[in-house]
Structure 1
Amino acid sequence: MNAFPTDPPGPTTDGPASDRAHRPARAPSSAPYGDPARVLSARLAALHEPVATLVEQRAGTDPTADDPLRGLYLSDEAVQHLLDSWPSDAEDAAPGHAPSGPVPDVPQADPADRLARLAARTNLTELDTAVLLIALAPDVDRTFEPLYGYLNNDVSRRRASVSLALELCGVPAHLAAARGRFHASAPLLSLGLLELEDPERPFLTRALRVPDRLIGHLLGDDTPDAALLGLLRPMPEALPATGTDDFVRQLAARLKEGPLTAYLREPREGDGLAALASVLDAAGLDALRCAGAEDHVPELLREARLSGRAVVVPGLPEKPAALVRALTAATDVTVLLTDPRPYDPHWAPDDPLVLDAPGRRAGGAAAWRAALGPDADGFDLASAVAPYRLGGDRIQRAAHAALALAAFDGTPLSAEHVRLAARRQSASGLESHARRIRPDVDWQDLVLPDKPLVQLRELALRARHRDRVLGDWRLSAGGGRGRGVLGLFAGESGTGKTLSAEVVAADLGLDLYVVQLSSVVDKYVGETEKNLERIFTEADRTDAVLLFDEADAVFGKRSEVKDAHDKYANMESAYLLQRLESFDGIALLTTNLRANIDEAFTRRLDLVVDFPFPDPDQRLALWRHCLSRVPSAEDIDPEPLAREFELAGGSIRSAVVTAAYLAAGRDDTVTADDLLEGARREYRKAGRLVPGEGGW
């Protein structure tokens, strides 16, 4: 096709009079650098000339050119003119006086020439670009509407048709290659740049429409497609992520080479998105992060092509095949998918690059410090965030929430603000199977001998540094074993096992979830394992402490198989043994009798903490600790109670609660008699003889 002059005559609204050929040409102007709308206007100005030329050709030979009702009916003269204009043979089928193609010589180096950039990015041919310009002309310049209606010989059809576009481009309409540019698989239609309307009409008279979003883009409007409103989310900031440098560097280098479709399987929700944020930042690419895109894939891909950005889809739908198939088919766009599920080859005929996203390490103080800024200098940030494994944009959101909480309290940012915000970002589905406890205790509330106290502190220490010891120092046992922390608390009822679990959770800044065994154990075969799997899976992706209270029910010893019940009970134990090995969270088990726990479970435990029954000195400390917050008589002395009543810590607390109610009923302070009555009631509840009663 022949190129147009850089500065063609300006647009005109004159009718198809014969003297239009003698109108003066517009003076040349400088190239419209910097403004996309001016660049597009220059291209359309160049289009006026071939349109005007074609109109003049029609007017010179059409006997109905001056008929005011032209295009509304066919006169005898018009029919005869059509018959006379038929070519005598196939060689004359091409128009003899077709105008030149409408691709103006606007300098391609101008960054504001979005049509040229789009053509280069999507590999459009010169004919494709010309057709696109012809089709969008009436949407940008109204003077094209009546002219297109005249050339279509139908005043109601004011858009370019297939035949009109080809004629303006100087291409014969009977050529298969030319007609193929309007096929559904051709770039213009397959990339969503052009729509072919009126499928019931003959092919050549079908109207061409350019989507409004594309026109807006060419004019300089970067507002996303209306169909994507509410679906697009900003990418999280690229935060420092120790241990993922090699992954980020390798994938970023691959993205710089050209479009790529990749699938990242993430160990926890958000890990893949966090890694991609760092990768895209290293590659210097922007991205469209879209959730729920399954119904708007064409609009999403078109938006990516217009802006030159990558597509990021975190979290696939339950049935992802259709979405994955549509996205992987777009080989000209970088598409990055993340999901916890392994990639299934049945999802799409063309497999993406499948990678394992690096897991988010616990802690990540550098990422937290980058998100919190200088406000994090007033406390030990590394210790505060050590237990958390937040990924994606969760750290950024938690940091904003922590700063908002500090501003609300009117105090400087503290570790408690950070911990509270982090817990809220770790929303969990565990509550359907477990009871959540928000710890409100600390180490001062524990009255225990030195040995179990040291072990409990070690348990919290293991939870903080497991990534370094098992990961960086490569002390993991291998075999797919996780980096979980498992502990067993053994001791009589009331010796402080559950309270200790709550204290450990409080020290780590995590919520405690007490598993409700009644919602786990099921009489139907296999259902118990399914319920446990849901719990472990949710616990793996949640920063929390999981407590199996009275764990004998599910972690008991395997027995000799004598009937079907024994067989399936042993299968449950075998499942638990395997699942504990791959567990990445923090789980604590409590039992009243350590001997009831299968030895295979104890071998997989990190710590076994024995809670002894308190001796008299320990009981005295427990009495005094419970009374420390209760208004008591000045002469009260719990030493005789500690010596005479052999009560565990839980029973001592219950005795003090009873005494407190008795005192509150009198609107008085707690007396020695109140405490004595409370202790006696605990003995009676346990079915024991009360000192001073019943033959003591």
Structure 2
Amino acid sequence: MTVRLKELSDPGPSRTAPVPDDALWAGLARVEQRVRRAVADRRAVDPQPDDPYRGQYLTPEAAEDLLASPPDALAAAVDAAHLPPPPAATRLGRLAAGHALDALDTELLLVAMAPDLDARFEPLYGYLNDDLTRRRPTVGLALQLCGLHPAGPGRFRLAPAAPLVARGLVEITEAERPLLTRVLRVPDRVTAHLLGDDALDARLLGLVRQEPAAATEDGGATGTGAEPVTGAFTGAFTGQGADGHATDGTDSATGTDTGTDTDADAAVDAAAGPELTRRVADAVATGGGPVYLREKGGDAASVAVDALTATGRRALVVDLAGLLAAPDPARVRRALTTEAGLGASGIVLGPVDLLEPGRPERARLLHELCAAAAGVPLVLHGRTGWDPLWSRESPVPFVVGPAPVRVRAAQWQRALAEAAGVLGAPGAAVRTPDAHTLSEVAASCRLGAAQVRRAADVAVRTAAVDGRPVSAHHVRAAVRAQNGAALELLARRIEPAVGWDDLVLPDTALRQLRELSLRARHREQVLGQWGMRPGGGRGRGVIALFAGESGTGKTMSAEVVAADLGLDLYVVDLSTVVDKYVGETEKNLERIFAEASEVNAVLLFDEADAIFGRRSQVKDAHDRHANIESAYLLQRMESFDGIAVLTTNLRSNLDEAFTRRLDVIAEFPLPGEQQRLALWNTCLGTRLPRDAALDLELCARRFELSGGSIRACAVTAAYLAAESGRPLGMAQIASAVLQEYRKLGRLVVEGEFEPWLPDVRGGAGRDG
């Protein structure tokens, strides 16, 4: 200890050997010189400077010397206020400029950081603190080494609102101690950044991801210059910029606004996407407050990333759900704002829909984040309107509509090629679905840029496992894999396993089903870009009604439509919806509609007349509340953005107001003779052995059954054939039909079952 203090206090050659033109090491050398001088000054007045137990006791003589010394006796001779700022081309210079640090702030930062760069400073700081266990600089020591009076205005450069502390560059610990004896430390992330490390702060792992530069439509990558991105992830958007003019969809000659913050999203062309990106980038570049992107079917997060990239910034995309669930959100918030400032980044945060009105602590968290991010570009996004409680400053609002199909198809093509490259094969060597198939996938589903990348990765890896090129089947299965599990708590999920060839319906019903599929594919173009459903808060959903008797194929038809679109089918369980308590049914339905809007699926309300029934004259409180439920459903169905199918056995049970809001009405009649024959052949399949005497034409002519009943009879007959050990014959068919008649409560006419009636009565259906 004695030797080291003498050695370090000797003003000999510096040990740091600063690299020429490196502001960080040059600054550290200045700090070392000041520490040497401070140590020498302390040794000059210390009666026992080489005592190994110095700092652990205070002698009466030392106490007298402390009381006799003036308050500024330990002030360093070097005045940091007259130092030039660090060069702008260095990391330290960029850090100072980005956080509004002056020369004194920079020197205080270097003093606090010195032990992290050179371990020799630890015992020196312990000696100067007169406590060898306190091996980092205190507030008082840092002020002393920078030539600042401990009671002067310089101490306020370490106040909570000062840039060093507010931006998380310096942390002041031991808050219970007096200010001058509190310890300063620099977060490891700040030190690593100044040393050239751009890895994300470990405290943000799992909550924040750094988005790479967005790709352009020609396959290139957007740079970090002033030119905005040209729209790989953006397309036909609507919005209102900071200057109050429409961001797109506006006729420059007439000034007609077709894209304001309403549901009246009107016609725009493909060039409108880059225009919105430019306007959002301009709003980000002007600073002064946050920017809010309200989603109207578009991918607001990708627009935010593109806009930040266009201003030369990287994007830190925050998982708001993870941030709200973090054990110490305030700590994560400080780390986030510090990280954004270090890397000249912007923050993308959302969806703000998670900030429930009944959870005020969440609103306070966002308010604090907006306040802490002052000077850092902050872009928020969500589907709801902006709540003034979320921020002290109102954001610049924009509305983001869906991108055109061709842009989304090109996005899929690039994502598949990139995913193939990760597996080790160049994109050109991997066969992917053609442009038409990808256009169909893009038209029928809504995925954000991150979801598309994940789905493309799943599709490529699944195709590799199958040993085949990526097909439409792989892509659609990957799209379905992106659906969350929340809707499965409210509805039963069915992965479609049937196609158009499995349907046996009249031509009229088939045309109506194909019209439903057509509307689902082209709704973004017709309802969004062409604005064919303007005003009134109307959504871009497609609603269909399937009406017909039980067993005529309504549910199966919904499954076929879902399969044709490459989507899952979710069947709403009415037992989980209808509630005896007032208002609960509406809440359950709202949860279903909200979750259905988040997934790519077809929503099926089976036996819909149970909740979509006619409104009646109000005679008591029950009638009034039933009418309230119907009125709510009328409004909610009209604003729904997804694909919904209602089925009913009796169309007349539905309220006429619902009929007006339906896009497609498909009638499902009972099958005729030829259709029954086709149903018998389809339901019996090709693998079930058949007796040569089996006469399906006779079955179709004699037994008037619905498709569902024919399927039930086919299954029952197959069991009987399996029990008999013989091929399926007419006796088993007749026995199965007889059971179905009894199950349906139909009158059994013996003549229908001739000549198999004796066999049926005698159990021939079981033993042949």
- Pair in the same fold by TM > 0.5: yes
Structure number with larger C-alpha Rg: 1
User: Is the Cα–Cα contact under 8 Å of residues 84 and 103 in structure 2 kept in the other structure?
Assistant: no
Inter-partner Cα distance in structure 2 for 1:217 and 1:504 = 54
Match of 2:323 in 1: 293
Q: Alpha-carbon deviation of 1:645?
A: 1.8
1:367 to 399, 411, 425: 411
1:347 to 379, 386, 390: 390
Inter-partner Cα distance in structure 2 for 1:342 and 1:436 = 31
Deviations along 1:310-366, one digit per CA (max 9) or x if unpaired, are: 122233455421221121112121122233343221233333334333346678322
Q: 3-state SS of the aligned residue for 1:305?
A: helix
Match of 2:159 in 1: 183
Q: How does 1:598-637 map to 2 (within 5 A)?
A: 598-629=655-686, 630-637=688-695
Q: How does 1:205-224 map to 2 (within 5 A)?
A: 205-224=181-200
The answer to whether residue 84 in structure 2 is matched with residue 56 in structure 1 is no
Inter-partner Cα distance in structure 2 for 1:131 and 1:640 = 97
Q: How does 1:431-442 map to 2 (within 5 A)?
A: 431-442=488-499
Q: How does 1:157-172 map to 2 (within 5 A)?
A: 157-172=134-149
Match of 2:481 in 1: 424
Match of 2:277 in 1: 248
Inter-partner Cα distance in structure 2 for 1:321 and 1:14 = 54
Inter-partner Cα distance in structure 2 for 1:677 and 1:28 = 99
The answer to whether residue 75 in structure 2 is matched with residue 99 in structure 1 is no
Q: 3-state SS of the aligned residue for 1:181?
A: helix
Match of 2:450 in 1: 393
User: Is the Cα–Cα contact under 8 Å of residues 540 and 640 in structure 2 kept in the other structure?
Assistant: yes
Amino acid across the alignment from 2:292:
Y
The answer to whether residue 103 in structure 2 is matched with residue 126 in structure 1 is yes
2:465 to 384, 391, 408: 408
Q: How does 1:500-519 map to 2 (within 5 A)?
A: 500-519=557-576
Inter-partner Cα distance in structure 2 for 1:271 and 1:614 = 45
2:505 to 437, 448, 454: 448
- Range with bigger deviation, 498-507 or 69-78: 69-78
Deviations along 1:363-407, one digit per CA (max 9) or x if unpaired, are: 832221221135324572222443111124111111110111111
Q: Alpha-carbon deviation of 1:235?
A: 3.0
Match of 1:227 in 2: 203
User: RMSD across aligned C-alpha pairs, in angstroms?
Assistant: 3.1
Aligned pair in 2 of structure 1 residues 70, 377: CA closer, same or farther (>3 Å)?
Answer: closer
Q: 3-state SS of the aligned residue for 1:632?
A: coil
The answer to whether residue 703 in structure 2 is matched with residue 645 in structure 1 is yes
User: Is the Cα–Cα contact under 8 Å of residues 233 and 403 in structure 2 kept in the other structure?
Assistant: no
The answer to whether residue 342 in structure 2 is matched with residue 358 in structure 1 is no
Aligned pair in 2 of structure 1 residues 386, 312: CA closer, same or farther (>3 Å)?
Answer: same
Q: 3-state SS of the aligned residue for 2:481?
A: helix
Amino acid across the alignment from 1:99:
V
Amino acid across the alignment from 2:471:
S
The answer to whether residue 697 in structure 2 is matched with residue 668 in structure 1 is no
2:20 to 31, 41, 45: 31
- Range with bigger deviation, 40-49 or 256-265: 256-265
- Range with bigger deviation, 437-446 or 489-498: 489-498
- Range with bigger deviation, 517-526 or 287-296: 287-296
Q: 3-state SS of the aligned residue for 1:293?
A: helix
Match of 2:307 in 1: 279
Q: 3-state SS of the aligned residue for 2:666?
A: strand
Q: Alpha-carbon deviation of 1:497?
A: 1.6
Inter-partner Cα distance in structure 2 for 1:334 and 1:461 = 42
The answer to whether residue 379 in structure 2 is matched with residue 313 in structure 1 is no
- Range with bigger deviation, 119-128 or 197-206: 197-206
Aligned pair in 2 of structure 1 residues 350, 73: CA closer, same or farther (>3 Å)?
Answer: same
Aligned pair in 2 of structure 1 residues 107, 31: CA closer, same or farther (>3 Å)?
Answer: farther
The answer to whether residue 334 in structure 2 is matched with residue 302 in structure 1 is no
User: Is the Cα–Cα contact under 8 Å of residues 361 and 389 in structure 1 kept in the other structure?
Assistant: no
User: Is the Cα–Cα contact under 8 Å of residues 362 and 464 in structure 1 kept in the other structure?
Assistant: no
Percent identity for Structure 1 against Structure 2: 51
Aligned pair in 2 of structure 1 residues 323, 28: CA closer, same or farther (>3 Å)?
Answer: closer
Q: Alpha-carbon deviation of 1:219?
A: 2.2
Inter-partner Cα distance in structure 1 for 2:13 and 2:391 = 60
Amino acid across the alignment from 1:500:
S
Q: Alpha-carbon deviation of 1:417?
A: 0.6
Inter-partner Cα distance in structure 1 for 2:677 and 2:733 = 13
Q: Alpha-carbon deviation of 1:278?
A: 2.6
Deviations along 1:37-96, one digit per CA (max 9) or x if unpaired, are: xx5333222322233233334444554456665544444544454455338xxxxx6879
Q: Could you list the runs of 5+ residues in structure 2 that have no partner in the other structure? A: 215-231, 238-272, 418-427, 755-768
Aligned pair in 2 of structure 1 residues 353, 641: CA closer, same or farther (>3 Å)?
Answer: same
Deviations along 1:180-227, one digit per CA (max 9) or x if unpaired, are: 112222222222222334444443333322223222222223333332
Deviations along 1:643-689, one digit per CA (max 9) or x if unpaired, are: 22221222222222222111111222111222232233333333333
The answer to whether residue 112 in structure 2 is matched with residue 135 in structure 1 is yes
Q: 3-state SS of the aligned residue for 2:316?
A: strand
User: Is the Cα–Cα contact under 8 Å of residues 53 and 99 in structure 1 kept in the other structure?
Assistant: no
Match of 1:5 in 2: none
Inter-partner Cα distance in structure 2 for 1:25 and 1:311 = 42
The answer to whether residue 717 in structure 2 is matched with residue 689 in structure 1 is no
Inter-partner Cα distance in structure 2 for 1:644 and 1:17 = 112
Aligned pair in 2 of structure 1 residues 84, 448: CA closer, same or farther (>3 Å)?
Answer: closer
Inter-partner Cα distance in structure 1 for 2:568 and 2:16 = 76
Match of 2:364 in 1: 322
Inter-partner Cα distance in structure 2 for 1:337 and 1:104 = 40
Inter-partner Cα distance in structure 2 for 1:24 and 1:563 = 97
Deviations along 1:253-308, one digit per CA (max 9) or x if unpaired, are: 2223447522333356x933232233233333212223223511111111211222
Inter-partner Cα distance in structure 1 for 2:35 and 2:726 = 101
Q: 3-state SS of the aligned residue for 1:343?
A: coil
Amino acid across the alignment from 2:412:
W
Equivalenced residue count is 670
Aligned pair in 2 of structure 1 residues 151, 506: CA closer, same or farther (>3 Å)?
Answer: closer
User: Is the Cα–Cα contact under 8 Å of residues 240 and 367 in structure 1 kept in the other structure?
Assistant: yes
Q: 3-state SS of the aligned residue for 2:515?
A: helix
Q: 3-state SS of the aligned residue for 2:211?
A: coil
Inter-partner Cα distance in structure 2 for 1:146 and 1:469 = 73
Aligned pair in 2 of structure 1 residues 631, 587: CA closer, same or farther (>3 Å)?
Answer: same
Inter-partner Cα distance in structure 1 for 2:64 and 2:212 = 69
Aligned pair in 2 of structure 1 residues 492, 107: CA closer, same or farther (>3 Å)?
Answer: closer
Aligned pair in 2 of structure 1 residues 554, 102: CA closer, same or farther (>3 Å)?
Answer: same
Q: 3-state SS of the aligned residue for 2:616?
A: coil
Deviations along 1:514-538, one digit per CA (max 9) or x if unpaired, are: 2222222222222221111111111
Aligned pair in 2 of structure 1 residues 195, 625: CA closer, same or farther (>3 Å)?
Answer: closer
Match of 1:261 in 2: 290
Q: 3-state SS of the aligned residue for 1:689?
A: coil
